Amino acid sequence: MSTKHPRRPTPSAPNAKGASENPAGSPPAATDTGWRGFLVGNALGVIFGPFVRLIAALFLGAAILFLSFAWQSGPQRTIDAAHYATFTGRVSGQIIESWLALEFDPGTMGSGTHWRGAAKASPCAVVEYHGDWNVPARRAFCGNRLGFNESYALHDLREMAPNIPFAWARDDRGFLTPQIRIGSEAREWLATHEPNAPMPSNPPPKNALDALRLQLDRPIDYAIAGWAFPAPEFPLAFDPHAPAEAMPAAFVDNKLHAPSGWWAFAILAPIGLLTWYRGMTILLGGLPPAAALFAAIVPLLAIPWWGDRIPHALNHLDSRFGAVISEMLGDFDITGRLVASEPGDAMLADGEAIAWRVGDKTYADTLGRIRFERPQAMPETADAALAALIDATTAQTRAFAIADQIALFDRLKVDKLADLRNAAELFVPAAKAALLDEQGDAVLQRAARGFLSEWVTQPIEEPHPGELAYAGRVHLFRELTDVPVPEIANLAAGVVERASARTP
């Protein structure tokens, strides 16, 4: 009796329901599923990717703040104190070159024009000092990085950081010659964009760069500051074994005597680590745990060198949030920033320079006609400096031919109408003398009266406490209150009255 074995089904044999298990021409199911998964995954990434990156950036940004503050409060202070303990040498240096490094990224402006709100400025100086070495040493320092708003005054800049001096170069007359240095891209943007706000000068500035030159052209302030504030010494501390790496003495002393901040480290470091881990978990959720842990730990090893680099890395996740974190880190120790380098490596050392000289360009036809000489004995106060400048201006103006005096006072009036009023006050006493001269020329008297009438008419720069030569500037208006021209005397008296109310 023979036994029949059931026939083994072939791959194309129908199943119990009569359907083929792998019909001819049909792709494998796994392949179909893979394509669907790929497309779905990419679609989800496009939809939810920006949201995931933003959440990760929030956690990582907070972690960067906590960890940076923790490091600077604890370990960094201890490291600095140990490093500067060897800076036992002391020497006095001289500033031989100085500029204001203006940082401005045109890429952040978009369609906006208020560029000064996005700009930062750092005073930089090259210091030369001598010691027991043969060749004088030079070192560059860049100080506090502050906002460059419309109230930023170059003539008031006398410290690059607390207790660390700064001084502008001076010309042969002893006047300040301030200088800004800016990158080529920023300069190109300023030269091709309109000023942030219309200016009434005549002719008006063609672009934002010309407006900047005009706004900061304050010749009388530069003259007063140059005469009243001599260039300071620059005390330095150095390691006798490495004198080329000298640092400002005040900066070294601050590092040596900084209070302990380990308590802040103990509070902030754990919070920062937990926040960092959470952010990296969100960002690297698709990696195997070991790889994600490795990727999270490696950046932490570079905390001492994070600086401005790590906030910029956040720009890849969210550019706006990265900029916010960078600003917050910069504000953490806003007055303690000091960057030392070789002179050629200083911030914008090779940038394009924008410089000012008293009496040039805008005021060449008025203040530029007066020849000033450096006094044998420099004035001891800003008020005395203003008085000396006025005396020199009055004597030379009164010596001009009558036609030249008339042209001068007419030009001063035109400048005032054009809102160019940063040179006129030196000529006020000369104009008053011409107006009150009973034997004087009638045309000259009318020109002097026209200038003085316009000078006291709003808008004017009224004296405010705290500015250079405040008392001397109030005195100029007070001297006009007895002029027998009501329109001049009354307006001048109003300025004096308001100034008296502001005086502490």
Say how far apart CA 467 and CA 465 lie, in whole Å: 6
Residue 382's φ and ψ, nearest 5 degrees, are -65, -35
Model pLDDT for residues 80-127, shown as the tens digit of each residue: 899 999 999 999 999 999 999 999 888 888 777 889 888 999 999 999
Say how far apart CA 227 and CA 168 lie, in whole Å: 12
Q: pLDDT grade, residue 306 (50/70/90)?
A: low
Q: How many other β-carbons are positioned within 10 Å of the β-carbon of residue 268?
A: 21
Model pLDDT for residues 433-450, shown as the tens digit of each residue: 999 998 989 999 999 999
Say how far apart CA 212 and CA 359 lie, in whole Å: 17
- pLDDT-above-90 percentage for the chain: 57
Model pLDDT for residues 473-488, shown as the tens digit of each residue: 999 999 999 999 999 9
Please determine, for residue 218, whether its predicted confidence score (pLDDT) is greater than 60: yes
Mean pLDDT of the chain: 85
Model pLDDT for residues 138-167, shown as the tens digit of each residue: 999 999 988 898 889 999 999 999 999 999
SS (H, E, C) 418-440: CCCCCCHHHHHHHHHHHHHCCCC
User: Which of 143, 84, 150 shows the shortest CA–CA distance to 115?
Assistant: 150
Please determine, for residue 425, whether its predicted confidence score (pLDDT) is greater than 90: yes
Q: What is the pTM of this model?
A: 0.80
Measured in whole angstroms, the distance separating CA 366 from the mean position of its chain's CA atoms is 32
Cis amide leading into 6 (omega within 30): no
Model pLDDT for residues 330-346, shown as the tens digit of each residue: 656 655 689 999 999 99
Please determine, for residue 504, whether its predicted confidence score (pLDDT) is greater than 70: no
- 3-state secondary structure at position 242: strand
Say how far apart CA 390 and CA 430 lie, in whole Å: 9
H or E, element range at 365:
none
The residues spanned by each domain of the chain are 76-256, 361-502
